[in-house]
Amino acid sequence: MSVSRENSHKKIIVDFIRHGEPEGGDILRGRVDPVLTEIGWAQMRQATALDNAHQSSSITPPWTEIISSPLKRCRHFAERTAEQLDLQASVDEQWQEIDYGDWDGMLVSEWRKVAAEQFKAFRDDLSALAPPNGEDYLSFKRRVLGAWQAIADKPDGSHLLVVTHGGVLRVILPTVLGMPLNRSFPLFIPFACISRISLREVEGKLNASLLFHNGAEYAAGPLG
């Protein structure tokens, strides 16, 4: 991502976390809205180095703001964490998962059969993925990248936590890495996967770098 800037010293850190395990079993979750399981809560607490009461540890980052998808599997964690850490939390619909339409809530085993032809075509053409009565992939991509672009307007020194979804991360991470979005399958993005991106200004442009991916308890090293 490159954005023209007058400020020549701007730096923003963004931690993206996928929600933990939700209720409902092995189903396709787009706009269906289950809550987290206890395991899901524990996964997210571990990934962010929070104790069971959501108190920060010495390695929990000093976030300046938390942004969340409106769906419960993200929002409940974001709101509770913000309250415990005395932070501002905002809900932004642009960070929610793709709307799978008629596929939403379907068993994944069944969905793989029903959607197989679309995903086969998707490997060559992003526009081929269009869930019936849902959100086509190109619209989803534009929505997510619009939200990502808006982060560049945050103040210098911001350190954000964005609580979102696997599909969203399959737009953001390949964009930062310069990967084709329909070739992101090698990226492992499990529940409570956390990734850190640094936005730094270089010669008037804001450039994104992936600092770590799928790091638990910030084991990848010091902030930066």
Which residue spans within the chain are E strands per DSSP?
Answer: 11-18, 65-68, 89-91, 159-164, 194-202, 205-212
Which residue spans within 61-182 are E strands per DSSP?
Answer: 65-68, 89-91, 159-164
Residue 75 within any structural domain of the chain: yes
Residue 59 has a pLDDT of: 80
Q: What is the CATH number of the domain that holds 163?
A: 3.40.50.1240
Residue 169 within any structural domain of the chain: yes
Residue 222 has a pLDDT of: 41
Residue 4 within any structural domain of the chain: no
Tokens coding 42:
């524990």
174-207 pLDDT, tens digit per residue, is 999 999 999 998 999 999 999 999 998 777 787 9
CB environment 152-191: b (16+ within 10 A), e (fewer): bebeeebbbbbbbbbbbbbbbbbbbeeeeebebeebebeb
Residue 5 has a pLDDT of: 43
Residue 217 within any structural domain of the chain: no
Residue 7 has a pLDDT of: 43
DSSP 8-state symbol, 70: S
Query: 22 pairs with which residues across the strands?
Result: 36
Residue 203 has a pLDDT of: 72
Residue 110 within any structural domain of the chain: yes
Domain containing 22 equals 11-212
SS3 218: coil
Residues of the chain whose pLDDT is less than 70? Answer: 1-8, 53-54, 217-224
Residue 166 within any structural domain of the chain: yes
Residue 8 has a pLDDT of: 57
Residue 1 has a pLDDT of: 52
Helix and strand totals (H; E) in the chain: 6, 6
Per the structure, the count of domains in the chain is 1
Residue 218 has a pLDDT of: 54
Residue 116 within any structural domain of the chain: yes
81-101 pLDDT, tens digit per residue, is 999 999 989 999 999 999 999
